[in-house]
Structure formats: structure tokens, C-alpha cells
Amino acid sequence: MQTNRLKKGDTVKIIAGREKGKTGKVTKILADGKRVVIEKLNMIKRHQRPDQKSKGGIMEKEAPLDASNVTPVCAKCATGVRVGFKTLEDGKKVRFCRKCNEQLDQ
């Protein structure tokens, strides 16, 4: 089941796990739609062998988080909010904040 509650470029707040309470921008949504990568959060270390292109060593990179552990941040409320969907008069489907009724899609 793919959710379209989150989109690339959204500012999100982490609500569970080791990074709880931090906010960041979504850089990638994995193919199944259930995991997201957030810029500079949930950093892990990986050991990399040297090859012709890069020097080896211990590399840090962002690990994916489950989409259920993040919530979009509303610009007006400035907090993590629940997302609703509605269809505009022109037939366009948009996301909105359930708390203040502000539109999340620009």
C-alpha cells in the first residue's frame, strides 16, 4: 500500500525512534512508499572498501525511516499535523492540514 501523504521536499517531524522531535526535509521516498530518507537525520556508518573511484574508510549516510514515524509540518501551525485530502473546484486533489485547514501543496 503506497501512501501519498508525504512528498519529496516536504518538511517533516520525527515522532518516534532515536531521532524523535527533530525536523528535516524529505530527500527520497523509497519505491514501496513506506520508507523515507530525511536530510542529515538517522545517520549510520558503513565501512567502504577502496575502489578505483573512491578511497575506502568509514562513510556516514542517511538511513531510511518508516513513513509512519514521521509527520508533515504545517507552515502555519509550525508543528507536525495530520493530513487530509480534498478536491478543488478545478478537479485537482490537494493535501491540507487537519488542524488549521491550511493547504500543504503549493
Contact between 8 and 26 (Cβ < 8 Å) = yes
Reported as a pLDDT band with limits 50, 70 and 90, residue 1 is very low
Phi and psi, residue 89, nearest 5°: -60, -35
pTM given for the model: 0.85
Q: Burial code of 67-83, b = ≥16 C-beta within 10 A, e = fewer?
A: bebbbbbbeeeeebbeb
Comparison of pLDDT for 87 and 4, the residue scoring more: 87
Residues 13/79, Cβ–Cβ less than 8 Å: yes
What mean pLDDT, rounded, does the chain reach? Answer: 92
Interatomic CA distance for residues 31 and 67, integer angstroms: 12
Candidate CATH numbers 1.10.3720.10, 3.40.630.40, 2.30.30.30, 3.30.200.20; the one for domain 11-49+57-97: 2.30.30.30
